[in-house]
């Protein structure tokens, strides 16, 4: 419970520093201590109640999830692909190329630190799709402007028997580009 109180306290403290500049710790402590304490106390009791009372109530649900885990995982994956929910930070391009209006986020933020995904792998995947040799060649020409081994060096999608050893990208070759990208990001 102490960890919850401290975490909530420093979260609110950081928010006040961000909004109001320099604020004395005693003022923040006196204003936010009770809020942080109550949030931590309520969180502790909810966690305890779930552990104590919920075990017997949730055990049949847990057994159901364990028994049908593959079907549940496939259903969640299908729902995320259908609803275009993913963890991509491709919206960072919106701040670079566009005027930064609407990046289409439902929740969270685009993280520029994930540049390996949005600035490297995603453009390479699109380069593979639009290659003049056809979609997803093993040796692509668009990525670097020269013939490049796309599969071994960069781990990109290719039409090759070697894709059998990377099943998470294997089915992508059969789908339309946007659906394939959504599947890859889920």
The model's pLDDT over 69-124, given as tens digits with 9 standing for 90+, comes to 999 999 988 888 888 777 777 777 777 777 656 666 777 777 878 888 888 888 88
Whether 167 and 80 share a structural domain: yes
Q: Domain limits at 55? A: 2-61
pLDDT given for residue 72 in this prediction = 93
Single pTM value for the model: 0.56
Q: Same structural domain for residues 54 and 145?
A: no
Q: Residue 134 carries which DSSP code? A: -
Same domain, 143 and 169: yes
Domain boundary among 61, 85, 100: 61
Q: How confident is the model at residue 68 (pLDDT cuts 50, 70, 90)?
A: very high
Q: What is the mean pLDDT of residues 27-36?
A: 60
Q: If you average pLDDT over each of 35-39, 81-85, 138-142, 154-158, which comes out highest?
A: 138-142
Are 93 and 109 found together in one domain?
yes
Indicate if 39 and 77 belong to the same structural domain: no
- Per-residue model confidence (pLDDT) at position 58: 75
- In total, how many domains does the chain have? 2
Q: Residues 174, 137: one domain? A: yes
Q: Percentage of residues in the chain with pLDDT exceeding 70?
A: 73
Hunting for tokens 């079907």 — which residue is that?
71
pLDDT of residue 21: 52
* pLDDT attached to residue 75: 93
Mean pLDDT calculated for residue range 30-54: 74
Q: What is the pLDDT of residue 71?
A: 95
Which residue, of 61, 78, 103, is where some domain finishes?
61
The reply to whether 41 and 76 lie within a common domain is no
43 and 110 both lie in a single domain: no
Q: What is the pLDDT of residue 70?
A: 95
* Same domain? 57 vs 73: no
Instruction: Answer yes or no: do 55 and 82 share one domain.
Output: no
- Same domain? For 95 and 13 the reply is no
Same domain, 51 and 127: no
Residue-wise pLDDT for 46-64, tens only, equals: 888 777 777 777 788 888 8
Q: Which stretches within 68-170 are classed as H helix?
A: 69-82, 92-97, 115, 122-129, 167-170
Asked which of 61, 78, 94 is the last residue of a domain, the reply is: 61
Asked if residues 141 and 134 have their Cβ atoms less than 8 Å apart, the reply is no
Q: Is 63 exposed, middle or buried (0-12, 13-18, 19+ CB in 10 A)?
A: exposed
Distance CA 183, CA 79 (A): 10
């Amino acid at each position: 419970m102490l960890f919850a109180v401290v975490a909530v306290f420093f979260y609110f403290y950081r928010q006040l520093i961000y909004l109001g500049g320099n604020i004395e710790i005693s003022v923040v402590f006196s204003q936010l201590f009770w809020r942080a304490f109550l949030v931590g106390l309520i969180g502790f009791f909810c966690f305890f109640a779930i552990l104590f009372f919920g075990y017997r109530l949730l055990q049949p649900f847990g057994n159901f999830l364990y028994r049908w885990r593959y079907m549940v995982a496939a259903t969640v994956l299908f729902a995320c692909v259908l609803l275009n929910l993913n963890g991509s930070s491709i919206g960072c391009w919106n701040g670079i190329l566009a005027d930064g209006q609407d990046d289409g986020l439902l929740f969270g933020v685009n993280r520029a630190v994930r540049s390996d995904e949005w600035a490297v792998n995603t453009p390479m995947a699109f380069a593979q799709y639009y290659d003049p040799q056809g979609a997803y060649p093993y040796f692509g020409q668009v990525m670097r402007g020269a013939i490049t081994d796309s599969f071994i060096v960069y781990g990109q999608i290719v039409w090759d028997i070697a894709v059998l050893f990377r099943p998470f990208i294997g089915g992508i070759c059969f789908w339309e580009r946007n659906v394939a990208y959504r599947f890859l990001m889920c």
